[in-house]
Amino acid sequence: MSVADVQKEKSHDLGEEQSIWFKLTPLLKGSNPMQVVMHMCEKYGGVIPINLKDQKLWFMSDVEHFRRVLVTNADNYTKYFDGIRPIFGDSMITVDGNLWQNIRTPQQPAFHPKAFDNYFPFLVEAINAKCDRFSELAKSGETVEMVEETWTLAADMVCRALFDRKMPFNPHFVFKAVKTYTDVSSHKSIRLGRQSGELKDVSEVDPAKAVDTWLSVPEMVLGEDPLTTREHTLMAMLMKAKDDENIPDFDEKQVIDELKQYLWAGTETTALTLAWTFYIASQHEDVREKILAEAEEVYGGREPTIEDIQKLTYTKNVAQETLRMFPPIWALIRVAQEDDVIEGHEIKAGDKMVMCTYAAHHSSKYWNNPEEFDPDRFSPDRMKRRVKYSYLPFGAGKRSCIGGQFSFLEICLALPTLLKRFQPEYIGDPIQLNATVTLTPKGGLPFRITERKS
Ligand code: HEM
């Protein structure tokens, strides 16, 4: 069977009925799902058993238990991706054990800060292209969907810097396809509606078509000519791993799955964070001014270097605080392989552990005034006092995010550059959240952009 056929076949695992993403839908469906989650944690505590017909979930918000599952007994808890596998294939983020190690090791150097010099000019190029687009949007005065704009920027940055390719697909089209698929709660309502005969005009064809679009993207990237002859890109490392006979697991299909994974895990997350930082900057004039003042002090009117960007501590604190308040990955899920005991609760093999990092990020047990936006929480002094594992936007333990530092570089470069030239104004309703695979603003983040006079 060809790689394309295998991909196609997988696209039909649409919305696996047993996926707990669907099972959680009733809980998360309301207008403020995170408020429901916070009330639930307050009322029932840090470990809540949830019995479903044929499976058991443990909904956790206590950091001690995060530590047990993610770090001290991590080998007993494997990854869980039922229901969203078509997005990731069998890539590093989904697999476990030796296979995971064999896949991650050859890619690790691409995310070492030493590699970032090599990426920097390509990040600048992508941001300049976004400035051109913002300039057009400012002239036309049309409403801008910020998450879509930052998604297309993040995808462009990943393609140019890490894959050494121009983005060969229409990112707005692919963005919409990804949204159609990952709105897991809609899959459920689509299915229920169809079963009860209520919904006549929606079918699973839309998510299925969206997956087909998604599956065509890696081939397009591979078919595009490299931009340069750089040897230390992520793409070069993927190709080297594929040709290395000592890593038999790393075949052509693996390369394709890794590309898919990066185009989701490396774009959706950074894009949401950037979009939320624009929202914060538009609501807190002082935050916007401090970001601009810091950039002015560090590099003034000249083009920034990578060293300049690394000095933008306030801007980085804004990004970190944004990730606390709006963690794109609001829960981490694992499956117990063997029985375990957590705070006297008997965990059985097969139980699903839902670690709600959002709840820890917003708990007054761990943070003063958790609903207040305060980037100074990330000052070195206050960081020393932070409770361990209470801040996990990138996960924890050996399975934590490979791209965290890279994403701070992207955000700290993009945010001051775009805010210096443009004034984004949020024109939407009060924020409501949507808790699907990621935590997203319900209905998006509509903005109007104006170009600032220099
Ligand atoms: C603000 C941006 C980002 C956030 C919030 C984020 C969040 C996360 C989280 C929470 C995990 C762990 C999931 C778990 O334990 O189940 C993870 C894993 C991962 N992330 Fe990120 N991520 C970000 C940016 C990136 C970027 C820029 C890349 C690559 C270009 C990336 C690639 C990955 C990969 C490959 C993994 C799997 C690592 C493994 O299992 O070994 N992420 N990310």
Is the pLDDT score of 435 beyond 70? yes
Express each pLDDT in 320-341 by its tens digit.
999 999 999 999 999 999 999 9
CA of 271 to the centre of ligand 1 (A): 13
Residue 25 has pLDDT above 80, yes or no: no
pLDDT tens digits, one per residue of 375-429: 999 999 999 999 999 999 999 999 999 999 999 999 999 999 999 999 999 999 9
Pocket residues: Cβ below 6 A from ligand 1: 92-93, 104, 158, 261-262, 265-266, 269-270, 273, 323, 328-329, 332, 393-395, 399-404, 406-407
Question: Closest ligand 1 atom, CA of 79?
Answer: 16
Distance between Cα 395 and ligand 1 center (Å): 8
How far apart are the C-alpha atoms of 165 and 230, rounded to whole Å?
A: 11
Supply the mean pLDDT for the chain. 90
Q: Does 417 map to a domain?
A: yes
Q: Is residue 276 part of a domain?
A: yes
Burial category of 133 from C-beta neighbours within 10 Å (exposed 0-12, middle 13-18, buried 19 and up): middle
Measured from the Cβ of residue 292, the count of other Cβ atoms closer than 10 Å reads 17
Q: How far is the CA of 404 from the centre of ligand 1 (A)?
A: 7
In a domain, 324, yes or no: yes
**Domain of 70: which CATH number?**
1.10.630.10
Residue-level pLDDT at 6: 47
pLDDT of residue 192: 55
Give the residue with greater pLDDT, 168 vs 191. Answer: 168
166: in domain: yes
- Nearest Cα neighbor of 116 from 308, 350, 400 is 308
Asked if the model's pLDDT at residue 21 lies above 80, the reply is no
Is 452 contained in some domain? no
Question: Average of pLDDT values for 109-133?
Answer: 97
Using the mean position of ligand 1's atoms as its centre, give its distance from the Cα of residue 85 in Å: 16
Amino acid letter, 408: F
In a domain, residue 86? The reply is yes
| pLDDT computed for residue 203 by the predictor | 53
For residues 24-37, average pLDDT: 79
At 437-447, the pLDDT tens digits run 899 998 899 99
Give me ligand 1 centre to Cα 269, in Å: 8
In ligand 1, the atom with minimum distance to the C-alpha of 396 is 15
Ligand 1 atom 30, closest CA: 266
Number of domains in the chain: 1
Ligand 1, atom 21, lies closest to the CA of: 401
Domain-embedded: residue 358: yes
CA of 141 to the centre of ligand 1 (A): 35
Indicate whether 453 belongs to any domain.
Answer: no
Is 90 exceeded by the pLDDT of residue 205? no
SS3 string, the chain, reads CCHHHHHHHHCCCCCCCCCHHHHCHHHHCCCCHHHHHHHHHHHHCCEEEEECCCCEEEEECCHHHHHHHHHHCHHHEEECCCCCHHHHCCCCCCCCHHHHHHHHHHHHHHHCHHHHHHHHHHHHHHHHHHHHHHHHHHHHCCCEEHHHHHHHHHHHHHHHHHCCCCCCCCHHHHHHHHHHHHCHHHHHHHHHHHHHCCCCCCCCHHHHHHHHHHHHHHHHHHHCCCCCCCCCCHHHHHHHHHHCCCCCCCCHHHHHHHHHHHHHHCCHHHHHHHHHHHHHHHHCHHHHHHHHHHHHHHHCCCCCCHHHHHCCHHHHHHHHHHHHHCCCCCCEEEEECCCEEECCEEECCCCEEEECHHHHHCCCCCCCCCCCCCHHHHCHHHHHCCCCCCCCCCCCHHHCCCCHHHHHHHHHHHHHHHHHHEEEEECCCCCCEEECCCEEECCCCEEEEEECCC
Domain holding 333, by residue range, is 3-443
Longest distance between any two alpha carbons in the chain, whole Å? 63
223 CA → ligand 1 middle, Å: 26
Q: Which of the four pLDDT bands, split at 50, 70 and 90, describes residue 87?
A: confident
Q: Tell which atom from ligand 1 comes closest to the C-alpha of 327.
A: 5
